[in-house]
Amino acid sequence: MKLGIRSAVEYLFHIINRMLGTLGFRLVPANKPPRSMIEFLSHAKALGFHPSLIVDIGIADGTPEIYKAYPKSRYILIEPLVEFEPVLRQLCQRLDAEYILAGADESVGEIEIHVHDDLAGSSLLGEVEGSLADGVKRKVPTICLDDVLAKRTESPILLKIDVQGAELRVLRGARESLHKIDMIIMEVALISSMEDGPDFFDVMEFMKQVNFYLYDIVGGNIRPIDGSLKQVDLVFVQKDNPWRKERRYATVEQRQRLNERGRKRRRDFATRLTEIGPEPCTIPQHYS
């Protein structure tokens, strides 16, 4: 039986991925979701999104995909751990940036943070694993986004949040300024490993209340204990964002190509059935 071009490509994908799988890699189609962060930002730029101000909360080693996509934007970098201050200083030399060495929270003051051995995993919340994961406690100052953005007039604004379970605390400190923000990219847990940490549905409910709707899902992180999808980066835009107004799946020209492709698949399928020839259908005994 002859293979169509699509079937041949799918077969090659299967063979190549069996080999790459031994090395921990795999090929995926270019248009298969979820996108990587780089792919999403390229998409956003293609649609004309060029933020004047980017607020990056939870810096750790930085967010190079955003910095590369938008090197000319202004930046406010917010990070609670003094260990990452050299990174903040380097970023301020490379970008039009300022930094705040504090935790973003729902109020101004001081709070204890759990400083992990893996510094990037440090959080205002405790891990369900307890002391083995939590590291040591340290008091850090806190700020709220409402104060940070109160006098900012730039537009549009991109907010990135990566705070290990404290996402809603950050957003509660921004209730008066959320209307200024055009896009939010936020790391969200499907299975929360933090005590009292929000999961996907908690975040979705909150975001809808403040008129932000899910636009895209970017990347993901697999937890080692059982291979489950632990967390993803969610992209939210305001309810009235123009990107949400287009309800069609395709343009007329794109739809015509899709229709032709569908008709070709039907013809190829009919041809394969003819080549196979009539064969009796075997019914399992427990169904007869």
Residue 282 lies in a domain: no
Distance CA 172, CA 16 (A): 47
Query: Domain tally for the chain?
Result: 3
Residue 286 lies in a domain: no
| Residue 278: band (very low, low, confident or very high) from pLDDT cuts 50, 70, 90 | low
Q: Let me know whether 103 and 223 are in one domain.
A: yes
Residue 129 lies in a domain: yes
Q: Let me know whether 121 and 232 are in one domain.
A: yes
Q: Let me know whether 10 and 116 are in one domain.
A: no
Q: Let me know whether 135 and 269 are in one domain.
A: no
Residue 265 lies in a domain: yes
| Residue 194: band (very low, low, confident or very high) from pLDDT cuts 50, 70, 90 | confident
| Domain membership of residue 148 as a residue range | 33-244
Q: Let me know whether 51 and 10 are in one domain.
A: no
Q: Let me know whether 71 and 211 are in one domain.
A: yes
Residue 212 lies in a domain: yes
Residue 25 lies in a domain: yes
* pLDDT tens profile 217-268: 998 888 888 988 889 999 999 999 999 998 999 999 999 999 999 999 888 8
* pLDDT tens profile 83-92: 999 999 999 9
Q: Looking at residue 104, which CATH number applies to its domain?
A: 3.40.50.150
Residue 285 lies in a domain: no
Q: Let me know whether 92 and 54 are in one domain.
A: yes
Q: Let me know whether 151 and 258 are in one domain.
A: no
Residue 184 lies in a domain: yes
pLDDT at 30: 58
Q: Let me know whether 9 and 118 are in one domain.
A: no
Q: Let me know whether 3 and 76 are in one domain.
A: no
